[in-house]
């Protein structure tokens, strides 16, 4: 009987030590779902109370998922404060999806970042009055940056972002992660009367990206937001994978607001629908590509330039010819909109004629109705722009 007791104690002790070792490593047992393993960030130490710095805990969950073959990194509803910045794998960000360590092999891994529920954003970030009624209801999963950052006047410098895919150690610098983003909001800190210095989501080095219900927005929602271009600052709300003949990408239901130089930056194989940019200098920007990009309906509100060619090397994206088709680009024009820095200037901004393809446009004049006569183009000699009526 004593022998059985001692054996049982030894087994129990080993189990406890093993469990403690796993917990110290942040490797709690994942849940299992139809989409594979699910890693809850709270099991890695994240709190989600808007006060605790959750950067390291969430990063541990991301790293563990990558190292163990992928899966879902799950965020229960809450405000996840990110106060620590990291600089590695050729990117600078609060959170980094690191590349898989498999030199010389194309060893892909699927990583999904999923919130419990999406954030509702009931009001716009542009106003026809002097009263700011813009609001974001923090009733879902929000990753909140607590870093103001610094002016970034050198576009060749890696943009500091809330979330980024790190560069891999291979010919294309490709991160062999297939990234899915779902039901998440990313809040970027800004000072009153200025603009965010940080970018939102930088997926330039990702193998491919899929999204659904993503909100990227500024912490400041006042009528005095100013243009980052005016200070020579480079930033973007959402940066898609860059040219490397990558597989298809699919972007759905992304809203970027506000006060970035570039709302979205796209390259080849990009497919998208229901994408919105608010209060950006350039709403939808296309970098060099060999294969084409396709979009259904996209929308810009209170943006200076709507469809633009990239005019400077940025975040691994190059300058050059881009090939695209857009089924509808919708905007609203009102000279009284605020903040005034982003008031409409040009629908197609392509002075070096890099854009090739077709787009259909629909313009509404506030308090008047649909009026496509407000279409303006700078360049765009190879882009066929067709009014919706």
pLDDT band at 207 (very low <50, low <70, confident <90, very high): confident
For residue 130, the tally of other CB atoms under 10 A from its CB is: 8
Q: Among 349, 356, 347, which Cα is nearest to 388's?
A: 347
Tokens matching residue 210:
């899929």
**Per-residue 3-state assignment (H helix, E strand, C coil) for 167-223:** CCCCCCCCEEEEEEEEEEEEEECECCCCCECCEEEECCCEEEEEEEEEEEEECCCCC
**pLDDT, position 223:** 79
pTM above 0.75, yes or no: yes
Q: Of residues 156 and 172, which shows the higher confidence score?
A: 156
Q: What is the pLDDT of residue 22?
A: 37
Question: pLDDT value at position 17?
Answer: 36
pLDDT of 370 > 60? The answer is yes
Judged against a pLDDT cut of 80, whether residue 130 lies above it is answered with no
Q: What is the mean predicted confidence (pLDDT) over 305-332? A: 97
Q: How confident is the model at residue 192 (pLDDT cuts 50, 70, 90)?
A: confident
3-state secondary structure of 315: coil
Residue listed under structure tokens 């597989």: 247
Omega prior to 280 cis, within 30 of 0: no
Distance of CA 230 to the CA centre of its chain: 23
Lowest mean pLDDT among 166-180, 293-307, 322-336: 166-180
Q: Of 18-32, 110-124, 202-216, 302-316, which range is least confident? A: 18-32
Taking only the tens place, the pLDDT of each residue in 163-190 is: 999 988 877 787 888 899 999 999 999 9
- Note the pLDDT of residue 13: 40
* Across 208-231, average pLDDT: 90
Rounded to 5 degrees, φ, ψ at 140 are -135, -140
The arithmetic mean of pLDDT across residues 223-229, rounded, is 89
* pLDDT tens per residue, range 11-43: 334 444 333 333 334 455 666 555 569 999 999
Confidence band of 125 (pLDDT split at 50, 70, 90):
low
Given this model, what pLDDT does residue 102 score?
Answer: 57
Q: What confidence category does residue 8 fall into, taking pLDDT thresholds of 50, 70 and 90? A: very low
Mean pLDDT of 276-280: 94
Q: 322-333: string of b/e by CB count within 10 Å (b at 16+)? A: bbbebeebbbbb
Predicted local confidence at residue 11, as pLDDT = 37
Q: What is the pLDDT of residues 51-108, one digit of tens each?
A: 999 999 999 999 999 999 999 999 999 999 999 999 999 999 999 999 876 555 567 8
Mean pLDDT of the chain: 87
CA distance 196 to 192: 10
Angle at 247 between CA 350 and CA 201, to 5 degrees: 65
361 DSSP β-pair partners = 329, 387
Nearby residues of 209 by Cβ (< 8 Å), 6 or more positions away: 178, 179, 180, 181, 203, 240, 241, 249, 251
Confidence of residue 2 (pLDDT cuts 50, 70, 90): very low
Rounded CA gap, 342 and 228, in Å?
A: 10
């Amino acid at each position: 009987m004593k022998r059985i007791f001692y054996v049982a104690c030894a087994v129990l002790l080993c189990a406890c030590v093993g469990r403690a070792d796993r917990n110290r490593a942040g490797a709690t047992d994942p849940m299992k779902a139809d989409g594979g393993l699910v890693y809850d960030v709270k099991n890695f130490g994240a709190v989600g109370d808007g006060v605790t710095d959750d950067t390291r805990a969430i990063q541990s969950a991301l790293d563990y998922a990558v190292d163990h073959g992928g899966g879902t990194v799950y965020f229960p509803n809450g405000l996840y404060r990110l106060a620590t910045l990291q600089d590695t794998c050729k990117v600078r960000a609060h959170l980094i999806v690191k590349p898989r360590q498999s030199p010389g092999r194309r060893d892909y891994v699927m990583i999904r970042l999923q919130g419990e529920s999406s954030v509702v954003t009931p009001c716009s970030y542009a106003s026809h009055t002097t009263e700011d009624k813009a609001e974001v209801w923090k009733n879902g999963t929000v990753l909140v940056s607590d870093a103001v950052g610094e002016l970034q006047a050198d576009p060749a410098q890696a943009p500091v972002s809330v979330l980024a895919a790190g560069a891999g150690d291979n010919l294309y610098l490709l991160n062999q992660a297939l990234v899915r983003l779902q039901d998440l909001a990313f809040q970027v800190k800004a000072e009153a009367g200025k603009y965010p210095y940080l970018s939102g989501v930088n997926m330039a080095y990702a193998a491919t990206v899929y999204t659904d219900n993503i909100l990227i927005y500024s912490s400041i929602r006042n009528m005095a937001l100013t243009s980052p271009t005016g200070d020579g600052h480079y930033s973007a709300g959402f940066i898609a994978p860059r040219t490397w003949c990558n597989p298809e990408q699919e972007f759905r239901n992304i809203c970027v607001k506000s006060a970035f130089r570039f709302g979205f930056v796209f390259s080849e194989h990009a497919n998208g629908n229901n994408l919105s940019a608010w209060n950006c200098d350039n709403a939808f920007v296309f970098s060099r590509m060999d294969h084409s990009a396709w979009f259904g309906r996209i929308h810009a509100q209170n943006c200076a330039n709507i469809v633009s060619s990239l005019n400077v090397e940025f975040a691994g994206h190059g300058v050059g010819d881009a090939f695209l088709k857009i089924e509808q680009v919708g905007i609203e024009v009102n000279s009284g909109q605020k903040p005034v820095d982003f008031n409409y200037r040009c629908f197609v901004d392509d002075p070096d004629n890099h854009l090739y393809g077709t787009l259909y446009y629909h313009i509404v004049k506030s308090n008047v109705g649909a009026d496509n006569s407000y279409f303006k183009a700078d360049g765009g000699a190879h882009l066929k722009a067709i009014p919706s009526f």
